[in-house]
């Protein structure tokens, strides 16, 4: 039975969504940051997902090695890459600001943090859906064990 | 001793857990660009088991195909989370019902053993 492997698929979804939430939180926290180690205002980060084989249980690896069937790998998800958005900075006239240029303008990040808030809600919803998978599969495993009692 | 029904129930349980795996994959990839909703060929695999109950197909993998009927979003993904959650609970309920049937069959055997003492 592949129920234990299904838990791995759900767990990969949890990990990926958590990485997305982290990036979104960073974006929201830094939506007014004018100074970064790379220089210039903060650039919005965006997490891109891709399908990937989920971590499999020892039993699954063993049985495949033995029977040499099932070439179709289980697919979970993982973070493919972290993209940096290169939107034009928003120039605000603040001559007293330490990061102001000669004309008195400060470069602020040019993205709208509300978009990240919306994404955050969607991400939390996906996280909960993956939790629901793990819970449902856990119940199935428990019920199966219960049959032998 | 347990008869062909038990074999069928076992196959049914196996297919349900495979189906749950496909649903888990769909949910995990709900935000993956270009991913399309997949579905297990449940009916065909169950029919094969019904037509030939003696076959040793209990551990075989049923085929999976892309559904292709859902509206595709801008990122090329067509997973509908609500649909998957419905599949998830439906499969879970079917699974526990099938387990009850299996348990009934096993209980009859167990009772026979105990009463014989």
Write the pLDDT tens digit of every residue in B86-117: 999 999 999 999 999 888 888 888 888 888 66
What are the chain A neighbours of B79 within 8 Å (beta carbons)? none
pLDDT at residue B51 in the model = 82
Mean of pLDDT values over A29-57: 87
Mean of pLDDT values over A11-36: 94
pLDDT > 70 fraction of chain B, expressed in percent and rounded: 90
Number of domains in chain B: 1
Residues 6+ apart with CB under 8 A from A51: A75, A76, A77, B25, B29, B32, B35
Give B51→chain A minimum CA distance, Å: 22
B39 is in which domain, residue-wise? Answer: 3-115
Note the pTM of the prediction, 2 decimals. 0.84
Of A1-5, A25-29, B74-78, the poorest mean pLDDT is in A1-5
Give yes or no for a contact between A78 and B29, defined as CB atoms under 8 angstroms apart. no
Query: Per residue in A64-97, pLDDT tens?
Result: 554 433 444 558 899 999 999 888 899 999 999 9
Of A1, A4, A6, which to mutate for an interface test with B (greatest number of B Cβ within 10 Å)?
Answer: A6
Of A68, A143, A149, which to mutate for an interface test with B (greatest number of B Cβ within 10 Å)?
Answer: A143
DSSP code, position A88: P
Is residue B18 over pLDDT 50?
yes
Chain A contact for B99, CB < 8 A?
yes
Give yes or no for a contact between A126 and B79, defined as CB atoms under 8 angstroms apart. no
Give yes or no for a contact between A45 and A87, defined as CB atoms under 8 angstroms apart. no
Chain A contact for B81, CB < 8 A?
yes
Across the interface, whether the CB atoms of B27 and A69 are under 8 A apart is answered no
Q: Which of A10, A129, A137 lies nearest to residue B85, judging by beta carbons? A: A129
Mean of pLDDT values over A143-148: 88
3-state helix, strand and coil shares in percent for chain A, rounded to the nearest 5: 50, 20, 35
Per-domain residue ranges for chain A? 3-147
Structure tokens at B80: 């509908």
pLDDT, greater one: B43 or A1: B43
Give yes or no for a contact between A91 and A107, defined as CB atoms under 8 angstroms apart. yes
Query: Per residue in A14-23, pLDDT tens?
Result: 999 999 999 9
Q: Can you tell me the distance from the alpha carbon of A41 to that of B25, in angstroms, rounded to the nearest whole number?
A: 38
């Amino acid at each position: 039975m592949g129920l234990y492997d299904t838990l791995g698929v759900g767990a990969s979804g949890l990990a990926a969504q958590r990485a997305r939430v982290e990036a979104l939180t960073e974006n929201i926290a830094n939506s007014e940051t004018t100074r970064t180690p790379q220089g210039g205002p903060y650039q919005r980060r965006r997490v891109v997902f891709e399908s990937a084989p989920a971590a499999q249980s020892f039993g699954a690896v063993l049985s495949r090695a033995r029977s040499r069937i099932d070439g179709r790998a289980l697919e979970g998800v993982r973070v493919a890459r972290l993209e940096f958005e290169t939107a034009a900075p928003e120039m605000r006239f603040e001559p007293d600001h330490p990061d102001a240029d000669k004309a008195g303008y400060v470069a602020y990040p040019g993205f709208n943090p509300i978009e990240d808030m919306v994404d955050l809600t969607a991400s939390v919803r996906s996280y909960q859906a993956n939790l629901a998978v793990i819970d449902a599969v856990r119940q199935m495993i428990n019920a199966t064990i219960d049959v032998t009692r | 001793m347990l008869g062909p029904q038990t074999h069928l129930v076992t196959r049914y349980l196996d297919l349900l857990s495979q189906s749950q795996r496909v649903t888990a994959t769909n949910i995990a990839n709900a935000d993956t660009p270009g991913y399309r909703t997949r579905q297990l060929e449940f009916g065909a695999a169950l029919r094969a088991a019904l037509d030939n109950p003696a076959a040793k197909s209990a551990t075989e993998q049923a085929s999976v195909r892309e559904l292709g009927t859902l509206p595709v979003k801008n990122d090329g993904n067509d997973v509908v989370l609500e649909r998957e959650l419905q599949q998830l609970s439906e499969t879970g309920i079917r699974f526990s019902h099938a387990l009850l049937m299996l348990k009934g069959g096993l209980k009859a055997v167990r009772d026979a053993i105990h009463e014989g003492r």
